[in-house]
Each structure stands twice: as structure tokens, then as C-alpha cells.
Amino acid sequence: MHDDLCLNIGVMDEKHEEFLEILSNIKRCEQELFLPLFEVMIHHTKEHFAYEENIMHAYNFYDKKVHLDEHENMLAEMNYFYEKAKKSPAFGKSYINEYAYEKFKRHILNVDSQLAMFLKERSIA
Ligand SMILES: [Fe+2]
Ligand SMILES: [Fe+2]
């Protein structure tokens, strides 16, 4: 993972690292593994988001509404492209190759980083 995406919060960084690994596997995989790996990515993202949401609820994070909304939008978008990819693989591929990383990176830099700072200020992580 690039240093600029590292938040220095163990479990969050771990989840982000795993996501990037799945994403790079999808980019390199054979056609028949594309949808199964896409599904793995969705499952992983659900778990990753649920983990962060539990922390936000537990510590009553001040900006959780924005963060939760963004999680919801990102998952809805992923599901949308997954469904699209079933009928037109090229559509799914362009999401994976040209869009998914940027979207993920922006989430870490703009939203997850705030949560990380909040946790560090309270010595929670
Ligand atoms: Fe995250
Ligand atoms: Fe997040």
C-alpha cells in the first residue's frame, strides 16, 4: 500500500491492504474468475465497512452520518457494476480498471482519515 494511504490504525490499514490485494487480483484474473472475485470484493467491503461502523457507533464519532452515507453509496455502486458486469463484462472491467481504485483512495483520504484522527486523539487505536 502506498504510504499516503496508510492511516497508522492497525485493523483499518489491514482491511485497506486486503481490499487493494483483491482489486489487483481482479485486474489480473482470467475471465471466468472475474465475477467470483468481484463478489469477494463486495463481501470484503461489507465486512470492512461494518467494522468501521461498529467503531463509529461505539465511540459516537461526530461525523458518522457522512461516513455511513458514503459507505452505503460505495456499496450500492459496487453492486450496481457487479450486476451490470454479469451482462456486459466490459462495463464491469472499466469500473475495476479505471474507477474502483480512485474511489477507494478518495474515501481513505477524505473520510477514513478523519475517523483515524479521531481515534488517535482519544488513544483508542
Ligand atoms: Fe476504510
Ligand atoms: Fe470508511
Could you give all domains of the chain from N- to C-terminal order, each with its CATH number? Answer: 3-121 (1.20.120.50)
pLDDT, one tens digit per residue, over 21-44 is: 999 999 999 999 999 999 999 999
Residue ranges near ligand 2 (ion) with Cβ within 5 Å: 52, 112
Give the closest ligand to the alpha carbon of residue 71. Answer: 2
Radius of gyration of the chain (CA): 15
Distance 107 CA to ligand 1 centre (A): 7
Question: What mean pLDDT, rounded, does the chain reach?
Answer: 96
Q: Which pTM does this prediction carry?
A: 0.95
The predicted structure's pLDDT at residue 3: 73
- Residue 26: burial class (beta carbons within 10 Å; 0-12, 13-18, 19+): buried
Distance 58 CA to ligand 1 centre (A): 16
124: confidence class by pLDDT, cuts 50, 70, 90: confident
